[in-house]
């Protein structure tokens, strides 16, 4: 892999829940979401992740009006998990990062 | 989660747990809301669901859905749900919060619901400082009904009822609910936020969470007004509608915190929990301990009681009391009963009447338009109700003879001057009880113990109880005489 740094985030858009409003496309700071070309089962052109560049900021999630159409993932920091830490602290760190 | 590069990813933002896993509104589309693409409701729902998750209150949250596009909120939120009548969410919320202390009551209302039909409810709930949270979604138009003007519609904004745009001269200025409520002393937190861009959305999420948190801390009334896009009715693409919130709506409805008394507010003491349902008869002092009355039920029920009684007379003759004693006695005896009195101006020296039903099977309607017993305490009552008496039924008339025009061959008529009869035992005002005595003799089903209990329940003064008991006995004997004469 010639890419030195992996993406900090990852995006999953459920094509069948998306209504193609485009608010996530507008909201995304690195502009890595676009409206797809094909129609989903409801007849909407669903948003799609272009596949790279997500920072995991989660703004698209909050801008999206559908409860579960978008899921944002974040890269787990291996330095944090290299040292064994209590489970509760890991959970705390994750929810803190999501705010 | 892992990618091809064996990197570990973890879900940071996903569907909040306060939403149902699947939405059972319709057979298909069980993961989608019913909202239009780009609708602000979905975004506000998500903020609220996230706040509920983060505060860990899902199992004690009660959400009140309004009338409007968000009427179906109960299909999405996996919390306690109540759907209130139009505009009444703050009143319903008050009741819920007071009867279930410790619950987190969230009213979710649109601008038609809150600022038009429900303007009184929100004003008084806020003025009382109820410990509830109100999420007020303002899109400046009646969307569900197709785009009529709302109190919040902007000046110049077109709607189906203001086709040339709203004018201050004809329709008044847009109603600023947050500013209006901010003039009150009780609310602890009122903020207006928008969904116009990322920054506004982030602030809105913080405000929604804070408004709920205030309630968790027991501080009192919090309201967040959310300026929200309605792409469909505004006839704009979703992104343009979003920008319209920021660029146009915000000029009329400035964002910001209007009230924040969270620092100086003290947590309120929770009200006492509502008593258990089975405790209520004891608290009200109605006889519930009378277990022997319940023993009468099977015998009475077997007799197939179905009394439709109309009692009518001048106001002051004791028409309503007569009906009430009858209904109470029936209830004591374990029958199904209803007592529907006339009220207000009707009972002020006019003709007063009540409908009473006693039945061994459930009562369909408390209205008695065709009585099987009419108790007419004066002539106008005859005029009004005698034609409706069922064939085979009875008229008890307070007069020596029945006027000829009311004679009927298909019913039995007991006409006596009951007022004079009552006078002979001490007071003409006991005429109603003499007539009730006659009625009970005709009905013949109620145990004497139930009648005594009902009389004691309805009549408080001992001197009247004594007179009324004698009046009932007299009424029974008058009726017996009449029946014997008829048989002879």
Our count of domains for chain B comes to: 2
Given pLDDT bands bounded at 50, 70 and 90, which one contains residue A97?
very low
Res. A58: pLDDT tops 60: yes
Alpha carbons within 13 angstroms on the beta-carbon side of residue B210 total 21
Q: CB of B196 within 8 Å of any CB in chain A?
A: no
Please report the pLDDT score of residue B32 as a whole number: 87
The span from the CA of B46 to the CA of B205, in Å, is 9
CB of B77 within 8 A of CB of B19? yes
Please indicate, yes or no, if residue B427 is contained in any of the structural domains.
yes
Provide CB contacts within 8 A for B415, sequence distance 6+.
B395, B397, B399, B400, B401, B402
Do B108 and B225 sit in the same domain of this protein? yes
Do B418 and B377 sit in the same domain of this protein? yes
Do B345 and B473 sit in the same domain of this protein? yes
Rg of chain A (C-alpha set): 16
What is the token pair recorded at A34?
């676009």
From A44, A67, A78, residue closest to B46, measured CB to CB: A67
B56-107 pLDDT, tens digit per residue, is 999 999 999 999 999 999 999 999 999 999 999 999 999 999 989 899 999 9
d(CA A81, nearest CA chain B) in Å: 11
B329-363 pLDDT, tens digit per residue, is 999 999 999 999 876 555 555 678 899 999 998 99
Provide CB contacts within 8 A for B169, sequence distance 6+.
none
Do B159 and B293 sit in the same domain of this protein? no
Please indicate, yes or no, if residue B276 is contained in any of the structural domains.
no
ipTM comes to: 0.80
The span from the CA of B397 to the CA of B235, in Å, is 69
Please indicate, yes or no, if residue B2 is contained in any of the structural domains.
no
Do B351 and B440 sit in the same domain of this protein? yes
Do B291 and B225 sit in the same domain of this protein? no
Boundary (domain end) residue, out of B229, B260, B291 = B260
Q: CB of A93 within 8 Å of any CB in chain B?
A: no
CB of B256 within 8 A of CB of B192? yes
Please indicate, yes or no, if residue B26 is contained in any of the structural domains.
no
Do B247 and B349 sit in the same domain of this protein? no
From A1, A29, A61, residue closest to B13, measured CB to CB: A61
Least confident of B33-47, B343-357, B400-414: B343-357
Q: CB of B45 within 8 Å of any CB in chain A?
A: yes
Question: In 10 A of CB B3, how many CB atoms?
Answer: 13
Chain B positions touching A21 (Cβ under 8 A) are 37-38, 231, 238-239
Instruction: Return the residue of A nearest to B12 by Cα.
Output: A73
Res. A88: pLDDT tops 50: no
What is the token pair recorded at B103?
């619950």
Residues 446-465 of B with CB under 8 A from A: none
What is the token pair recorded at B285?
């002092």
Q: CB of B35 within 8 Å of any CB in chain A?
A: yes
CB of B384 within 8 A of CB of B351? yes
Q: What is the mean pLDDT of residues B424-437?
A: 94
Test A63 with B40 for CB contact under 8 angstroms: no
Boundary (domain end) residue, out of B215, B230, B260 = B260
Per the DSSP assignment, residues forming a β-bridge with B194 are B227
B279-305 pLDDT, tens digit per residue, is 888 888 876 555 444 444 444 555 688
B242-289 pLDDT, tens digit per residue, is 999 999 999 999 999 999 999 999 888 777 878 888 888 888 887 655
Give the ranges where A10-86 is alpha helix by DSSP (H): 23-27, 59-63, 78-82
What is the token pair recorded at A91?
């959970």
Residues 24-83 of A with CB under 8 A from B: 25-27, 29, 42, 44, 56, 58-59, 61-68, 70-76, 78, 81
Residues 246-305 of B with CB under 8 A from A: none
Please indicate, yes or no, if residue B388 is contained in any of the structural domains.
yes
The CATH architecture assigned to A9-98 reads 2-Layer Sandwich (3.30)
Instruction: Return the residue of A nearest to B31 by Cα.
Output: A17
Tell me how many residue pairs between chain A and chain B have CB atoms under 8 A apart.
122
Instruction: Return the residue of A nearest to B40 by Cα.
Output: A65
Residue whose entry in the numeric block shows the structure tokens 């890269």: A75
Per the DSSP assignment, residues forming a β-bridge with B24 are none
The pairs formed by A39-44 with CB atoms below 8 angstroms and a separation of 24 or more are: A40/A15, A40/A16, A41/A16, A42/A16, A42/B29, A42/B32, A44/A18, A44/A19, A44/A20, A44/B37
Given pLDDT bands bounded at 50, 70 and 90, which one contains residue B487?
low
Do B345 and B397 sit in the same domain of this protein? yes
Do B310 and B410 sit in the same domain of this protein? yes
Q: Which domain holds residue B171?
A: 40-260
Please indicate, yes or no, if residue B330 is contained in any of the structural domains.
yes
Test A23 with B238 for CB contact under 8 angstroms: yes
Chain A positions touching B37 (Cβ under 8 A) are 19-21, 44, 65
Please report the pLDDT score of residue B443 as a whole number: 87
Please indicate, yes or no, if residue B213 is contained in any of the structural domains.
yes
Instruction: Round the average pLDDT of chain A to a whole number and report it.
Output: 81
Question: In 10 A of CB B283, how many CB atoms?
Answer: 9
Sorted by where each begins, the domain ranges of chain A are: 9-98
Please report the pLDDT score of residue A90 as a whole number: 39
B218: CATH? 3.40.50.970
Cα three-residue angle B161-B165-B166, rounded to 5 degrees: 80
Q: CB of B107 within 8 Å of any CB in chain A?
A: no
């Amino acid at each position: 892999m010639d890419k030195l740094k992996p993406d900090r985030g990852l995006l999953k858009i459920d094509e069948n829940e998306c209504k193609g409003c485009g608010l996530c496309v507008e909201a995304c700071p690195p502009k890595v979401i676009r409206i797809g070309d094909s129609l989903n089962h409801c007849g909407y052109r669903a948003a799609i992740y272009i596949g790279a560049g997500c920072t995991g900021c989660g703004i698209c999630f909050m801008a999206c009006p559908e409860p579960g159409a978008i899921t944002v993932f974040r890269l787990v920091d291996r330095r944090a998990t290299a040292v064994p830490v209590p489970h509760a602290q890991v959970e705390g760190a994750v929810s803190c990062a999501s705010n | 989660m892992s990618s091809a590069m064996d990197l570990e990813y973890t879900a940071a933002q996903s569907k909040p747990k306060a939403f149902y896993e699947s939405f059972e509104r319709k057979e298909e589309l069980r993961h989608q809301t019913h909202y239009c693409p780009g609708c602000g409701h979905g975004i506000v729902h998500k903020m609220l669901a996230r706040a509920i998750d983060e505060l860990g209150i899902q199992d004690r949250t009660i959400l009140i859905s309004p009338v409007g596009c968000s009427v179906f909120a109960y299909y999405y939120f996996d919390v306690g749900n109540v759907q209130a009548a139009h505009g009444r969410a703050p009143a319903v919320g008050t009741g819920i919060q007071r009867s279930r202390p410790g619950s987190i009551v969230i009213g979710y209302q649109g601008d038609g619901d809150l600022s038009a039909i429900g303007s009184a409810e929100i004003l008084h709930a806020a003025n009382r400082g109820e410990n509830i949270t109100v999420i007020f979604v303002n899109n400046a138009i009646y969307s569900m009904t197709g785009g009529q003007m709302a109190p919040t519609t902007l000046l110049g904004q077109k709607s189906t009822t203001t086709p040339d745009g709203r004018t201050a001269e004809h329709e008044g200025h847009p109603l600023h609910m947050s500013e209006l409520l901010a003039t009150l002393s009780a609310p602890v937190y009122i903020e207006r936020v928008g969904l116009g861009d990322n920054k506004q959305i982030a602030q809105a999420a913080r405000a929604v969470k804070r408004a709920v948190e205030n309630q968790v801390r027991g501080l009192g009334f919090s309201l967040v007004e959310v300026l929200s896009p309605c792409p469909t009715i505004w006839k704009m693409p979703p992104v343009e509608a979003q920008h319209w919130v920021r660029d146009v709506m915000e000029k009329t409805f400035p964002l910001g915190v209007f009230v924040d008394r969270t620092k100086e507010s003290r947590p309120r003491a929770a009200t006492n929990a509502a008593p258990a349902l089975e405790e209520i008869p004891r608290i009200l002092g109605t006889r519930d301990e009378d277990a022997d009355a319940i023993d009468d039920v099977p015998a009475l029920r077997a007799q197939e009681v179905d009394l439709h009684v109309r009692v009518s007379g001048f106001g002051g003759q004791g028409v309503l009391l007569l009906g009430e004693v009858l209904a109470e006695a029936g209830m004591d005896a374990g029958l199904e009963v209803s007592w529907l009195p006339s009220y207000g101006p009707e009972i002020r020296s006019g003709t007063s009447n009540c409908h009473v039903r006693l039945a061994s099977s459930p009562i369909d309607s408390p209205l008695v338009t065709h009585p099987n017993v009419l108790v007419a305490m004066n002539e106008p009552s005859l005029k009004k109700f005698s034609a409706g008496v069922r064939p085979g039924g009875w008229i008890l008339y307070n007069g020596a003879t029945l006027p000829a025009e009311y004679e009927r061959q298909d019913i039995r008529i007991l006409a006596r001057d009951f007022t004079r009869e009552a006078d002979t035992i001490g007071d003409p005002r006991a005429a109603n009880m003499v007539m009730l005595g006659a009625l009970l003799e005709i009905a013949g089903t109620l145990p004497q113990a139930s009648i005594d209990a009902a009389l004691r329940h309805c009549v408080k003064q001992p001197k009247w109880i004594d007179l009324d008991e004698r009046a009932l006995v007299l009424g029974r004997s008058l009726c017996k005489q009449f029946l014997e004469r008829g048989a002879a």
